[in-house]
Chain A
Amino acid sequence: DSGVTQTPKHLITATGQRVTLRCSPRSGDLSVYWYQQSLDQGLQFLIQYYNGEERAKGNILERFSAQQFPDLHSELNLSSLELGDSALYFCASSVGVSDSGANVLTFGAGSRLTVL
């Protein structure tokens, strides 16, 4: 168990709909990262929050948005869903730095979104 909790585990919805994915980082971790994993694009960084503030943005579509709340949990909102949004969405939090100094992320088990 990584300590990062994501809900729901699976979600099936229709095109045009909106969904919200939820993430609770490890206790005490201030950062939350969102990633999308699809067969054709691999793991893509979407967005990062640190202590409630947006810190870095990756390949996140305008139809997608995220926020981090005072209790540090985060939500990723996906709207006007398209078939191509079907993917695994991972949340990660930072567990510290490695011996080399790299930021070490621990990932949740993911939320699998299927858009029909």
Chain B
Amino acid sequence: GESVGLHLPTLSVQEGDNSIINCAYSNSASDYFIWYKQESGKGPQFIIDIRSNMDKRQGQRVTVLLNKTVKHLSLQIAATQPGDSAVYFCAETLSGGGADGLTFGKGTHLIIQP
């Protein structure tokens, strides 16, 4: 079946460096792509999203890139901090109104080295 998946289960970066977390999706009908962050012992937390008619969106220290040609999504975190340590999930949804649940990828564990 169609699903959203991640390329790497673990990503280790030095504090202060930029992090890039990748995601491959297969459902070309999805209209929204969303990144969530899950810290240990907590539920997932919304970071940023992008609609399928865009290829880049920026937030505070984060940028999401969408390449529909190769069905690839990435999350870039600038100047990575210890507080960025978490598991990052990409998710997709067919509609923005919440009529369907999100389809999540399996997650990438971001480890920050001091």
**CB-based A-B contact count at 8 angstroms:** 84
Among A41-70, those with CB < 8 Å from B are 42-48, 55-56, 58
Q: Are B104 and A42 in contact (CB under 8 A)?
A: yes
B89 proximity list for chain A (CB < 8 A): 42-43
Is A27 in contact with chain B by the CB < 8 A criterion?
no
B43 proximity list for chain A (CB < 8 A): 2, 4, 90, 92, 106-110
* Majority secondary structure, A binding face: strand
Q: How large is the interface on B (under 10, 10 to 19, 20 to 34, 35 or more residues)?
A: 20 to 34
Q: Are A109 and B42 in contact (CB under 8 A)?
A: yes
A102 with B51, Cβ < 8 A, contacts A43-B89, A56-B99 known: yes
CA distance A98 to B102 in the complex (A): 14
Among A89-111, those with CB < 8 Å from B are 90, 92, 94, 97-98, 100-110
Q: Which residue of A lies closest to B41 (CB)?
A: A109
Q: Are B57 and A100 in contact (CB under 8 A)?
A: yes
A42 proximity list for chain B (CB < 8 A): 89, 104-107
